[in-house]
Structures are given as C-alpha cells and as structure tokens.
C-alpha cells in the first residue's frame, strides 16, 4: 500500500515536471514566434524610422524647402519689398493719387482738368467794365472722389479780397465754398498769375442750397449753375466771374 502511494506520488511529480516543461516550452515557442512576428514590425518601425529619417530628410528638405520658402519668403519679402517698393510706388502712386487725389500737383499739372472757367467782368452782378481776366481749373481727386483740386489764375487785377465757388441760376450769387478770405489773408497786391490754389472737401462747404458734397457741386456744374467769383476791395460784389463748365474729351 505504501509502495503504491509512493509510486503514485512519483508519477504525479513526474507529470508535474513534464507539464511544467511543456508550459515552459510553449511559452518559449510563443516568445520566439512573437519575436519573429515583431521583427518585421521592428523592420517596419526601422523603415518608418528610415521613413522618419527620410521624413526628417524630407523634413530637412522641407526645412530646405522651408529655407527656400524662407528664401521664397525672403523673395516674398523682396517681393514684399517690391510690394513695398510697389507699395512705395503705390504710395508714390498713392502720393500721386494723393497728388492726384489731394495734393495732385504732378498729375493735375500733367493732365487736362475736368472742369474749367474763364473769368471776365461780364458775368458779375451787376456787370463790371474791367481789363481783369482769369481762368479756373478744377479736378475731382481723392480715393473716393471727395476732394476738389483747384487753381485760379488772374491777370491785371489788384486788391483782391475774397474768392468763392458760387451758385446762380440767373440771379444773385450764393457762395458755396470760400477759396480765399480777405479777413484771414488781407488784401492782395497786383496779380498776374496764380491767385489761389489748393483743395477743398465737404467740410469746406457753407451748406447753403443743401450743397455740401463734392458730388453735389459736380451736379451743379453739369447743370450749368456753378461759378467762380473774385471780389476786390473796390468791387465787393465781384470784379470778375466765370462759369465752371466740364471739359469734354478731345
């Protein structure tokens, strides 16, 4: 009986050892299989790393491209500079536009004004007998067409006090914009040349006749009811006057 128990115990221990060995073998086999399976993954990872490296290289190329982009950026900056130069040119153009738009000395002098007037004593109220004459030139300028540039020349005139852009439909003149003030600038001496020049905007209108925009004045000119009126000390109602008319394209 004791021998049988001892024999069974040995058998059980042997079986346990065999089972343990089998388990170890299976685990080892699974481990080897997993290594074998992971090796391509590692290779893929390595390839991905290579790809990553290539990506880095590509990244480096991208960096180079980035540098090129930076260079391109620099070129863009150059272009930007050119744009700035172009901007400066635009600013110059802008300045010219300003010159053409606000100050517009260069462009206005080099181009035909949009509106003009010939001033004599015939259109004063009442008419004046005088040798004085004058001319007026007007151009709408500014980005939004909200500025009027003007130059008024006069010949054989003295003691000028005030100069106005005025409206009339056949009767007395209604002053809309004052271009020269005798109160502020005093009485002039003899003039044969530029009497007054500059720009005016909506803020310079008197607001009379509900005309307070450059566009309102343009319409008044096109309707034939806008004038330049030059007053002198001895002719306070007007020494010379001229109707402002559009200059038709040649």
The confidence score (pLDDT) of residue 86 equals 36
- pLDDT per 10-residue tile (average), the chain, 250 residues: 48 52 60 51 38 39 40 38 36 35 39 93 92 98 94 98 94 94 96 97 95 95 97 96 90
Q: Who contacts 138 (Cβ-Cβ below 8 Å, separation ≥6)?
A: 113, 114, 115, 116, 117, 148, 149, 150, 221, 244
The confidence score (pLDDT) of residue 123 equals 93
Q: Who contacts 171 (Cβ-Cβ below 8 Å, separation ≥6)?
A: 125
Phi, psi at 225, each rounded to 5°: -120, 20
The confidence score (pLDDT) of residue 248 equals 84
The confidence score (pLDDT) of residue 169 equals 83
- Comparing CA positions, the residue from 140, 149, 148, 159 lying closest to residue 240 is 159
CA distance 241 to 225: 12
Q: Who contacts 161 (Cβ-Cβ below 8 Å, separation ≥6)?
A: 180, 182, 187, 188, 231, 232, 233, 236
Q: Does the N-terminal peptide bond of residue 126 adopt cis geometry, omega within 30 degrees of 0?
A: yes
Residue found under tokens 């002039």: 188
The confidence score (pLDDT) of residue 125 equals 86
CA distance 51 to 33: 26
């Amino acid at each position: 009986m004791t021998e049988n128990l001892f024999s069974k115990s040995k058998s059980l221990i042997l079986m346990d050892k065999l089972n343990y060995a089998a388990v170890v073998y299976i685990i080892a086999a699974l481990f080897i299989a997993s290594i074998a399976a992971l090796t391509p993954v590692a290779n893929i990872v390595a390839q991905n790393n290579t790809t990553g490296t290539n990506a880095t290289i590509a990244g480096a190329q991208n960096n180079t491209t980035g540098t090129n982009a930076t260079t391109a950026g620099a070129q863009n900056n150059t272009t930007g500079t050119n744009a700035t130069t172009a901007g400066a040119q635009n600013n110059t153009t802008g300045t010219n536009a300003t010159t053409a738009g606000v100050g517009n000395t260069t462009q206005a002098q080099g181009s035909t004004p949009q509106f003009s007037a010939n001033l004599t004593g015939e259109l004063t109220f009442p008419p004046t007998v005088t040798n004085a004459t004058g001319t007026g030139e007007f151009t709408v300028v500014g980005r939004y067409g909200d500025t009027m540039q003007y130059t008024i020349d006069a010949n054989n005139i003295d003691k000028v006090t005030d100069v106005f852009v005025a409206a009339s439909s056949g009767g007395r003149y209604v002053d809309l914009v004052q271009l020269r003030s005798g109160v502020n600038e005093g009485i002039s001496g003899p003039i044969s040349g530029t009497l007054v020049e500059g720009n005016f905007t909506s803020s310079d209108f008197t607001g009379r006749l509900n005309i307070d925009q450059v566009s309102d004045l343009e319409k008044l000119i096109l309707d034939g009811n806008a004038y330049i009126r030059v007053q002198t000390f001895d002719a306070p109602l007007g020494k010379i006057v001229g109707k402002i008319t559009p200059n038709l394209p040649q």
